Amino acid sequence: MKVTNAEIVISAVSKKQYPGDQLPEIALAGRSNVGKSSFINKLINRKNLARTSSKPGKTQTLNFYKINDLFYFVDVPGYGYAKVSKKERVKWGRMMEEYFQNRKTLKAVILVTDIRHEPTRDDVQMYDFVKYFELPVIVIATKLDKIPKGKRQAYLKRARETLQLEAEDALLPFSAETGEGKDEAWALLKTYL
């Protein structure tokens, strides 16, 4: 897709702040610091529209990015960062549930994992959580540039097995560094828009 317009519309903490224009949405979920915001930036060819950071926990709100007046990418706060208080975790859980539970315009969820590592227990939980709401999942195994080519297939197989992906759920290798996997990601996303 040729992105000619991309803008942040709102950083929301609750339902009443979500955009009301009924455009379809694709949400990004994944561990803190895994590369969710970088994925968005790479797809839309913008360096830092979705704010990224080498420190985990940069994204704390539901950030709605409107793309070509056609759909939203929703950048969701990451999970699994150890230095988060119990209170923060509870707040995060409530925010996720409120969003995933009754957002009619949410068409699919991208679960971003790090191709170098076996998906964590939190990743498995997140996958199950999304499936519980009967939403399609696209798993993006990112940071592909950090592994040798010879290991790709084995790491992808491991991710599919650990997450126990259903046959209809796609798993795509990706790198925000090199742009590998970008065209495939767009092709898949278009089927949900």
Answer whether 94's CB lies under 8 Å from 101's CB. Answer: no
CB count within 10 Å of CB 176 equals 24
- DSSP for 117-159, please give it: S---HHHHHHHHHHHHTT--EEEEEE-GGGS-GGGHHHHHHHH
53 binds ligand GTP per the rule CB under 6 A: yes
Q: Which of residues 42-81 bind Mg ion (CB under 5 A)?
A: 58-59
* Residue from 7, 21, 69, 145 in contact with ligand GTP (CB under 6 A): 145
Beta carbon nearer to ligand GTP, 53 or 102: 53
57 binds ligand GTP per the rule CB under 6 A: yes
Q: Which of residues 20-49 bind ligand GTP (CB under 6 A)?
A: 30, 32-38
Nearest to 34 by CA among 143, 134, 128, 132: 143
- Shortest Å distance, C-beta 117 to ligand GTP: 13
Q: Which of residues 70-89 bind ligand GTP (CB under 6 A)?
A: 78
- Shortest Å distance, C-beta 27 to Mg ion: 12
Q: How many CA atoms lie within 13 A of 171 on its CB side?
A: 23
38 binds Mg ion per the rule CB under 5 A: no
Dihedral over Cα of 72, 74, 187, 23: its sign: negative
Beta carbon nearer to Mg ion, 126 or 165: 126
Nearest to 119 by CA among 73, 174, 164: 164
- Shortest Å distance, C-beta 129 to ligand GTP: 16
Tokens of 66: 């409107």
Question: Can you give the binding site for ligand GTP, defined by CB under 6 A?
Answer: 30, 32-38, 52-54, 56-59, 78, 142-143, 145-146, 175-177
Question: Can you give the binding site for Mg ion, defined by CB under 5 A?
Answer: 36-37, 58-59
